[in-house]
A and B are shown apart, each in its own frame.
Chain A
């Protein structure tokens, strides 16, 4: 039997992945301080605009879909067979 890959089963490795992501995010914010961004809209140059917009979009999407849409449209798996 081929040996299973279990890299992500170890909490230590998961923590490594998380730390890499946190570092990357910090690095991206720092970049905003030193590298001016240009775009068609004024807000594209604001520090942290894309960071906040990305996070807020994600939260809004998950909250609206899960707590507003799901209760309305979710039915039993056999709904159409009844």
Chain B
């Protein structure tokens, strides 16, 4: 049996040779790394591994259980798919950042303590920033700065929470935390920022669409899903999460409807899907947590597929706005077909992965406490119909169908198609055979059948009638067209706020500073200068210099007299010597 090593170290150390490899060797290495990682993961045994002591605390790099393994498996699969998708480019920064980021995410997933979790958490942020900067545009640079500031805030909250908790409990073990003190609230909030909670979500919708073609796919996989994982481990059953999750599932879909940038539409959609997971964590039952893990797994696949298809459109046409695109099915039929598979999966059509994963969460909500959360259920069903609009219909319709934009291009490189093909295959495979695939690896035993007549008919009716409504709106020309522009979101406050701060610093503060400086000069510096000048004249010139001058004059006078006493006649010196001798004699005798 091969002995395993921490997956995080394997990926992070594995990043080092990438810049030194070229051509096919590099391609081979990039594909091999996640495969080796997966073999390593399959060799890992459940339990606590790789422990060490740091500052009197026990650091655990391998807390392996069924929950962490689900996330471990999908992160490895996603890393492989991304490697295939981006293999044609060989961008060192992008490749290194991808594996560093994936390794850090795996570090978070297998951390058994809050200290190592925090370190990997921050390393993930670093990987994200590189992926955004790799686009090398002014917008990307600015978005990366805003992203950094947001995550520094989140990191600080998390670190403060960890320190307070360590002080309170004397332990940094990462298990169930729950909301029971300041430290836990800060940790909760720190996790929430990475989870893109409402009002804390704009780092995602601002930065993800600014990353590179491959970078956006990578970003969509790890950060929010590690946040879902840590919330599931630390705060399962926290009721506040149900309402936070409902807000996440519902409010971004309104923005997704009016957004013009298709990768930004998918970013809003990402928050909507994570909302379903957060609701499941809030419910906290075994069924709900199975739903969270299953939905995270399925979501990574279909969201990657959608981001890959939009990335392919951007790569081939250089455009990503809905108003600039349309009719691409003519020249990109395979990409269009694969995008539709992703759209069907995210919309949770029966036979696709979203159906069998989302059903678990919906069932957990409906069955919890005898239907107590009926309002949550209704809102989640509303969100499900909304997903069909922006991700199920809008994305493929605006890019590949709709009006003819006149763009004639061709299919993306073969590796991109292969990556999308494998992902689409997995979406269908999981949807067709959930019990033989995804349900096998969930944290708890699955006692749930998604393909019941009631469930299949209900979900199909919901989606088909939403699609029918879209169709009728189009036929009767009532569907509002896409329009150019940006939509203000919460980021307006800090983007405009930052600019206002600079303006405020330039105008009133600078003027005030100048006025205060002048006052200081007139009423403080100048009087002090005058006084010191006076002191200089009176004390320095008259007193100090006077004493020195007088002393010098006195010494000069003495020296002058002494000099005058030197006559140069021998008799005068002889007389002096005699007088001196007589004095000495007198003193000796007395």
Footprint of B on A, CB under 8 Å? 2, 4-6, 8-9, 18, 21-22, 24-25, 28-29, 31-32, 35, 37-41, 44, 48-55, 57-62, 64-66, 69-70, 72-77, 79-80
Ranked 10 nearest A-B pairs via Cβ: A57-B385, A65-B257, A50-B461, A40-B366, A54-B465, A54-B462, A37-B454, A54-B466, A66-B480, A58-B469
Contacts A5-B329, A39-B458, A58-B385 known; A21 to B486 CB distance under 8 Å? no
- In the complex, are the beta carbons of A75 and B381 less than 8 A apart? no
Partner-contacting stretch, out of B106-114, B426-434, B487-495:
B487-495
Q: Which of A40, A41, A57 has the most CB of B within 10 A?
A: A57
On chain A, the residues within 8 Å of B381 by CB distance are 53, 57
CA of A53 to CA of B469 in the docked complex: distance in angstroms? 11
Given known contacts A50-B458, A62-B480, A69-B255, A2 and B389 CB-to-CB distance under 8 angstroms: no
Given contacts A62-B389, A76-B485, A80-B486, contact A21 B461 (CB under 8 A): no
* Chain B positions near chain A (C-beta within 8 angstroms): 253-255, 257-258, 329-331, 333, 366-367, 371, 374, 377, 381-382, 385-386, 388-389, 401, 404, 408, 410, 453-454, 457-471, 473, 475, 479-480, 483-489, 495
Q: Is the CB of A50 within 8 A of B465?
A: yes
A28–B254 touching, CB < 8 Å: no
The complex places the Cα of A69 from the Cα of B70 at a distance, in Å, of: 38
CB nearest neighbor in B for A71: B258
A-B contacts, 17 listed (Cβ < 8 Å): A2-B331, A5-B330, A9-B330, A28-B461, A35-B457, A37-B453, A39-B366, A50-B457, A50-B459, A51-B464, A51-B465, A52-B465, A54-B464, A55-B468, A57-B382, A64-B254, A65-B254
Residues of A within 8 Å of B388, CB to CB, are 58
Known A-B contacts A6-B330, A41-B371; A69 and B258 likewise in contact (beta carbons under 8 Å): yes
Residue of A at shortest CB range from B475? A18
Residue of A nearest to B402 (CB): A8
- Cβ contact within 8 Å between A35 and B458: no
Q: Does the CB pair B454–A38 fall under 8 Å?
A: yes
B381, closest chain A residue (CB): A53
The listed residue (A4, A22, A57) touching B408 by CB distance below 8 A is A4
Given A39-B458, A61-B257, the answer on whether A73 and B471 have CB atoms closer than 8 Å is no
Question: What distance in Å separates the Cβ of B340 from its nearest Cβ neighbour in chain A?
Answer: 12
Give chain B nearest CB distance to A19 CB in angstroms: 11
Taking CB atoms, residues of chain B closer than 8 Å to A18 are: 471, 475
On whether the beta carbons of B258 and A58 are closer than 8 Å, the reply is no
Q: How far is it, in angstroms, between the C-alpha of A69 and the C-alpha of B457 when the chains are bound?
A: 33
Which B-chain residue is minimally distant from A69 (CB atoms)?
B254
Residues from chain B with Cβ under 8 Å of A25 in the complex: 464-465, 468
A61 touches B461 (CB 8 A): no
A52 to B465, CA, bound (A): 7
**Measured between alpha carbons, how far is A35 from B367 in the docked complex, in Å?**
22
Tell me the bound Cα distance from A9 to B40 in angstroms: 51
How far, in whole Å, are A28 and B350 apart by their CA atoms in the complex? 14
Q: Are A21 and B469 in contact (CB under 8 A)?
A: no
Residues A75 and B488 in contact, CB atoms below 8 Å apart: yes
CB distance from B114 to the nearest CB of A (A): 37
Q: Is the beta-carbon distance between A54 and B486 smaller than 8 angstroms?
A: no
Asked whether B468 lies within 8 Å of A21 as measured between CB atoms, the reply is yes
Q: Which chain B residue has the least Cβ–Cβ distance from A65?
A: B257
Check A51–B461 contact: CB distance below 8 A.
yes
CB pair A61 B487 closer than 8 Å: no
Chain B residues whose CB sits within 8 angstroms of the CB of A76 once the complex forms = 485-486
Given A58-B389, A69-B258, check contact A75 B371 (CB 8 Å): no
CB closest chain-A residue, reference B488:
A73
Given contacts A38-B454, A39-B366, contact A54 B385 (CB under 8 A): yes
Residue from B253, B458, B465 having most chain A Cβ neighbours under 10 A = B465
Given contacts A51-B464, A61-B254, 15 further A-B pairs with CB under 8 A are A4-B330, A18-B475, A22-B468, A37-B453, A50-B459, A50-B461, A53-B382, A54-B464, A61-B386, A65-B254, A65-B255, A70-B487, A73-B489, A75-B487, A77-B486
Partner of B331, one of A4, A8, A44, A60: A4
Contact (A62, B257) CB under 8 Å given A54-B385, A74-B485: yes
- Kindly state the separation between the CA atoms of A26 and B188 in the bound complex, as whole angstroms: 48
Say yes or no: A21-B489 contact (C-beta < 8 A), given A32-B457, A74-B258. Answer: no
Please give, as numbers and ranges, the residues of chain A lying within 8 Å of B333 by CB-CB distance: 5
Residues of A close to B495: CB separation below 8 A:
80
CB distance from B364 to the nearest CB of A (A): 10
Partner of A55, one of B401, B466, B485: B466
Max chain A C-beta neighbours (<10 A), residue from B367, B401, B471, B495: B471
A40 contacts which of B258, B367, B469 (Cβ < 8 Å)? B367
Taking A21-B468, A44-B454 as contacts, is the C-beta distance between A77 and B485 under 8 angstroms?
yes
Nearest A residue to B410, CB-CB: A2
